[in-house]
Amino acid sequence: MAPGLPHSSAAMERPHFIGIGGAGMSGIAKILAQRGARVAGSDARESATAEALRELGATVRIGHDAAHVSPDTTSVVVSSAIREDNPELARARELGIPVVHRSDALASLMDGLRPIAVAGTHGKTTTTSMLAVSLTSLGLNPSYAIGGDLDVPGSNALHGEGDIFVAEADESDRSFHKYRPEVAIILNVELDHHANYASMDEIYESFETFTTKIVPGGTLVIAADQAGAAELTRRIRDTTSLNVVTYGESESADIRIHKITPRGLTSEVTVLLDGKLLTFTVSVPGSHYAHNAVAALAAGVAMGIPSRNLAGALKSYTGVKRRLQLKGEVNGVQVIDSYAHHPTEMTADLAAMRSAAGDARLLVLFQPHLFSRTQELGKEMGDALALADASVVLDIYPAREDPIPGVTSVLIIDAARAAGADVQAAEDRDAAVAAIAGMAKPGDLVLTMGAGDVTDLGPRILDRLKG
């Protein structure tokens, strides 16, 4: 068995990851490599993440081919995005190699540690990052697995020497039922992932199951202000033996947000905790990020960390890639990247940028993500775009889905126009870059928004602005 591997994880000694470059998969692969496992994997294309894994000793091949799976592989790790006809998956089954879901692999990494699991429809990556950065700055050396990079490629995960493990808990495929956290955070509960959940009742049932996985005597930190989270709290309050800690601006919240003061691209947050006011700085704009920081504060306190120490440490968090990340500035135009793809996230990020923009204009290049999400929430996406001064909308990024007849970006564009938005369709990526760059004037903020590859267009917009 490789040095440092959990006692129950012999299958993780020589794992092969299909889609190793993905945010969730690469994090697990990185931690295993740091613990001494012989990691291999494949991905559809080259990336900085793939190179970062190679630097840790992992073997990363480009393209999916049955020959990539070595006969001495101890497990093949997959996510829900991997199709059954993948040649590497077929080869694993042919050789009798155990196939392990990403969530089981992550759960094995937490064995023997004190996990904090961050759940919710939105905000998981930011809140997990806030905890990882602040606990690290306090010298607690946590392990963590985040759905996005903090500052450089490959910084989404780390094997730390401390006893705390901070991880995102993904509800999209119910895989968060695999974890046994000491502290769990639920930021919000909304209907999303329509291919896996047919109704809000199914969502509530799934989150209720997640709360039953928290270890006895553990703590659930949950939002008081968000309707879905409040309903979930009502449903479990009388049956759970957990310590339930609510946070938010509601007067009934256990940790009450007393005041959020915007200060440019930062916020000053004051909370009422244990009868005392505590003020700290959040180095990213927007009230939703302030709420995420308070959730992180509450989770740390539940782990026994002094609140004043945590409050000071939270200032060291300066953002994560694709979460309102400044990509550059040319001729007075700032280009910022947003991962927002659900209407609630879009509205939150657009409101934050509207506040930061002041009298300047806010221009958005939006790429819808998934046909199923667009079919269910296209109108709400259009409504969100009405917060911008002007928007350009790309075709839908399909990710793992096949097209749905009649579901196109036109659904969003029509809804946006009905809400009074100035919005236009882009024939292709080149046209989108030209349109946004052509609109931009000194002082404007340009936001590239979506969970697909729209992030690649920020640098192209900056180049175009240079003339």
Q: What's the rounded Cα separation, in Å, for the pair 342 and 190?
A: 10
Confirm if 290 and 255 have CB atoms less than 8 A apart.
no
Place of tokens 């093949």: 76
Q: Which of 30, 74, 124, 136 is catalytic?
A: 124
Q: What's the rounded Cα separation, in Å, for the pair 344 and 150?
A: 23
CB atoms within 10 A of CB 132: 29
Closest CA to 160 of 134, 141, 179: 141
122 is in an annotated binding site: yes
120 is in an annotated binding site: yes
Q: Which of 13, 88, 168, 171 is catalytic?
A: 168
Q: What's the rounded Cα separation, in Å, for the pair 97 and 210?
A: 29
23-42 b/e with 16+ CB inside 10 Å = b?
A: bbbbbbbbbbbbbebbbbbb
168 is catalytic: yes
- Determine the angle formed by the axes of helices 227-236 and 200-212, rounding to 10 degrees: 50
| Angle CA 297–303–305, to nearest 5 | 65
Confirm if 228 and 186 have CB atoms less than 8 A apart.
no
Closest CA to 121 of 218, 3, 4, 200: 200
Spell out the alpha helix ranges (H) of 3-158: 23-35, 48-55, 87-95, 102-109, 124-137
Backbone dihedral angles phi then psi of residue 122, each to the nearest 5 degrees: -135, 155
Confirm if 285 and 355 have CB atoms less than 8 A apart.
yes
Instruction: Give every CB contact of residue 228 below 8 A, 6+ residues apart in sequence.
Output: 121, 188, 189, 190, 200, 203, 204
16 is in an annotated binding site: no
Q: What's the rounded Cα separation, in Å, for the pair 223 and 212?
A: 18
41 is in an annotated binding site: no
124 is catalytic: yes
CB atoms within 10 A of CB 71: 7
Q: Which of 73, 74, 125, 344 is catalytic?
A: 125
Q: What is the DSSP string of 35-47?
A: HT---EEEESS--
Q: What's the rounded Cα separation, in Å, for the pair 349 and 420?
A: 19
Q: What's the rounded Cα separation, in Å, for the pair 132 and 215?
A: 21
* Cα–Cα separations (whole angstroms), residue 2 to 99, 112, 213: 20, 17, 29
User: What is the CB-side half-sphere exposure of residue 116 using CA atoms within 13 A?
Assistant: 30
270 is in an annotated binding site: no
Catalytic residue annotation: 124-125, 168
Name the binding residues.
120-126
Instruction: Specify binding-site residues for ATP.
Output: 120-126
